[in-house]
Structure 1
Amino acid sequence: MISLLLTHTIISLMVSSLSATETPVIGIVLHEIMRDTLKSLSPNSTAYLAASYVKAVEAAGAKVAVIKLGEEESYYRNILKQVNGLLIPGGDAEFDKPNGYANAVKVLYNETVKLNEKNDHMPILGICLGFEILIHLSNKGKELRADCNSNSVALPLQFKPDFEDSNLFRDADPYILQILSTQPVTSNHHDYCITEKNLTKFGLDKEWKVLSTNEDENGFEFISTVESKHYPIVGVQYHPEKNAYEWKESQNNPHSADAIYSARLFFDWLIKEARKSNHSFDSLETQYENLINNYKPLYTGRLNMTFEELYLF
């Protein structure tokens, strides 16, 4: 009996050491409004966030904090001390535009690397453009993307031989891995991509581990999943948030039960890693002030827009 109690105590201590918080908050970066269709909805708004990202994070068990654009660097450093992880969403933005999405992500990425180097756990999930800008920043802001034609197409992942030896996929349900590798369940919407050739050319293969690749509609191979070799940072070229939450028919987003089940893997990974962070807001009131819950999404599905719902800022 004593032996069993001792074993239970040891296991409990091990589990608790892996979880610094049971109430993680994920910071999601806003996106500047680039298209006239969005500007027409709210002429005074300058930024937006697709509600699908928010829903995906909340469904995985975390709260969402808004990370604004055009702020001083001190704002981004401060918000990083309070959230437990970051989601860098996809969209349409210029990497050299001042005071926008790219500038905010640059500060957040560089500071996140510094935190992780100090063993201050801070995960990032970059999706589509969010993945591209992570690689762009690790290349010291030098462009390395290639043109791609992979729009409104669902694809199965072509896993690399050692993909299971990764932070992202190591503990994944084998059935999810089977779905991802055999069924067209990853939703692709991108005009740019990053190749293994360019990753190696710029010496970034020392920093990033390629987990999967795909081909665009012209047979051009691109990287579809990567993770950092040193930090809890993952990038995916596809959009797992669209499987369950974006319904525009022309986008051909996969909505099968398997597609929705497998897409949860990426957000579950982010929240699992975020639970290892001991960051917290200075007070509950400060947390409340920063949460997405202070804003109401606008239903845009009936307008035949890309997103079902949008937050406008």
Structure 2
Amino acid sequence: MLRIIIASLLVSLVISNTTKPTIGILTNPSDLKDYDKSLYSYFPSSYVKWIEQAGARVIPIHWDSSYDELTVILNQINGVLFTGGDVDLYLNNTQPGFTFNKFTDTASFIFQKVIQFNKAGQFYPLLGICQGFQLINYIASSYYEVLTRMTDDLGQQRLLEIVPDEESFVLKSIDSITLDYLQNIDGPYYSHNWGVVQQTYEKAYSLGAFFKITAFSRDGIDLKYIAICEARDFPIYGYQFHPEKHQFEWKTKATHDVQHITYSQQLAMDFIAMSRKNDHSISDEQLASLIIYNFKQINRMEVSSTSFSQVYLFDRIRNETKTDQQKLGINQNIKFFQKHY
């Protein structure tokens, strides 16, 4: 189906192809010790720099937004990024009577909107990195407990084990010399305590039906886990590793050599190239009020308990008060996977 979507858009892209792509980045409840999550949300500045160096603008998507607010923003931007973080993603007792989790609910709502855009013929990418990778896997599993504990992968570079696939849109974005380097010499940078293993794809059928596995890596005790996944029918995909850190973080062990910067740039350029394939647009006035430059950027270089050089900090919009709609994203997602998988 993804090939059909791409083919059907080739003609229209000649006419409708944005030259000013805008990416929405989902904020995280603050896990910074000096900024309480009841008052603040955030994401590392490195993700903004990673997007901007590929030629796009950034708007934060606040995790505590209403559905109406989310819908307005998603209709004006060209793609979405779920970042790394340290959020409890699980809904706990998921089936039936799950515990409400606004962050996961917001992500589920976005996930469904992205599917709707693509099914309507608007090529619209969603990328998840590290926690974001885990989040899209959790959503696509229809809230199966997808995470497995990893060993010694908090600040490590691991070789990629590629699954040969001529149809992989992720692999096509990395040149063969760089890909060979990542497979055989020095792989991407990881900073995670949890991962997703292939056996989970086999147990949670909707997960394996929705995503295909593009690459693996192995943790400190040789446990094989998924490094890259991509949806079979939509431009929704994820990296368990951190491409942005090689260029823009200086408090980690991520190497800053030419090979790693090259692959980081290639992945960013590919994501933004995909975002250019829809004609969503935002007015200059609206962009000026929403763009990332309106928000505080905090220097973290001298904070010993963090691996981020800088973060963007956002005041909380509202507390998690329940409304009749607040489980909409979760319920829509369950219905979608029950129907299709």
Normalised by the length of structure 2, the TM-score is 0.81
| Moved >6 Å (runs of 4+) | none
Q: Pick from 223, 229, 238: which aligns with 2:241?
A: 238
The residue number in structure 2 matching 1:63 is 57
| 1:219 lines up with 2:222 in the alignment | yes
1:24 aligns with 2:24: no
Cα deviation, residue 172, structure 1: 3.2
Which residue pairs with 1:34 in the alignment?
Answer: 31
- What is aligned with 1:263? 264
* Contact map agreement 2:173 2:266 (CA 8 A) in 1: no
Number of aligned residue pairs:
294
1:53 aligned to 47, 60, 80, which one?
A: 47
CA displacement at 1:206 relative to structure 2: 1.9
Please show how residues 1-313 of structure 1 align to structure 2 within 5 Å: 17=14, 20-39=17-36, 45-95=39-89, 96=91, 98=100, 100-149=102-151, 150-162=153-165, 164-203=166-205, 204-248=207-251, 251-281=252-282, 283-304=283-304, 305-313=306-314
Q: Deviations over 1:131-190 (max 9, x none)?
A: 11101101112212111121110112110122x431112253222222222232411011
8 Å contact kept, 1:297–1:309: yes
| Offset of residue 14 of structure 1 | 6.2
Distance change in 2, residues 1:171/1:261 (3 Å): closer
Tell me the equivalent position of 1:3: none
CA distance in 2 between counterparts of 1:65 and 1:212 reads 30
**Is contact 1:228-1:234 (8 Å) kept?**
yes
Contact 2:173 2:267 in 1 (8 A): no
Instruction: Indicate conservation of the 8 Å contact 1:32/1:100, yes or no.
Output: no
Alignment partners' CA distance in 1, 2:30 and 2:217:
29
Distance in 2 (alpha carbons) for counterparts of 1:110 and 1:224: 23
Counterpart Cα distance in 2 of 1:256 and 1:101: 35
The one-letter code sitting in structure 2 at the alignment partner of 1:159 is I
Determine helix, strand or coil for the equivalent of 1:301.
coil
Q: 1:220 to 1:37 in 2, by over 3 A?
A: farther
Q: Specify every segment of 5 or more residues in structure 2 that has no aligned partner in the other structure, as ranges.
A: 1-9, 92-98, 315-341
**CA displacement at 1:49 relative to structure 2:** 1.4
Give 1:19 deviation, angstroms: 6.0
Deviation, 1:285, is: 0.5
User: 3-state DSSP class of the match of 2:107?
Assistant: helix
Cα separation, 1, equivalents of 2:191 and 2:303: 20
- Distance in 2, matches of 1:264 and 1:15, equals 27
Kept in 2: contact 1:155–1:188 (CA 8 A): yes
On the 8 A contact 1:18/1:276 being kept in 2, the answer is no
**Cα distance in 2, alignment partners of residues 137 and 246 from structure 1:** 29
Inter-CA distance 16–231: structure 2 relative to 1 (3 Å threshold):
closer
Q: Percent of counterpart pairs with the same letter?
A: 27
Contact 1:179 1:262 in 2 (8 A): no
Structure 2 counterpart SS, 1:23: coil
- Aligned equivalents of 1:86 and 1:291: distance in 2? 14
When residues 177 and 18 of structure 1 are mapped into structure 2, their CA distance, relative to the original with a 3 A threshold, is: farther
1:100 and 1:155 map into 2 onto residues whose CA distance is 33
Q: Alignment RMSD, CA only?
A: 2.0
Which deviates more from structure 2 when the two are superposed, residues 63-72 or residues 88-97?
88-97
Name the SS for the 2:296 alignment partner. Answer: coil
What is the rounded CA distance, in whole Å, between the counterparts of 1:15 and 1:88 in structure 2?
Answer: 28
Partner secondary structure for residue 153 of structure 1? strand
Write the deviation string for residues 236-286 of structure 1: whole angstroms up to 9, x where unpaired: 0001111111111xx3112112111111222111101000011112x2111
Separation in 2 of the partners of 1:265 and 1:124?
Answer: 17
The amino acid that maps onto 1:136 is: Y
Residue 44 of structure 1: CA displacement?
7.6
1:98 to partner: Cα distance:
4.9
Q: What is the one-letter code of the residue matched to 1:62?
A: A
Secondary structure of residue in 1 paired with 2:273: helix
Q: In the aligned structure 2, how far is the partner of 1:108 from the partner of 1:25?
A: 16
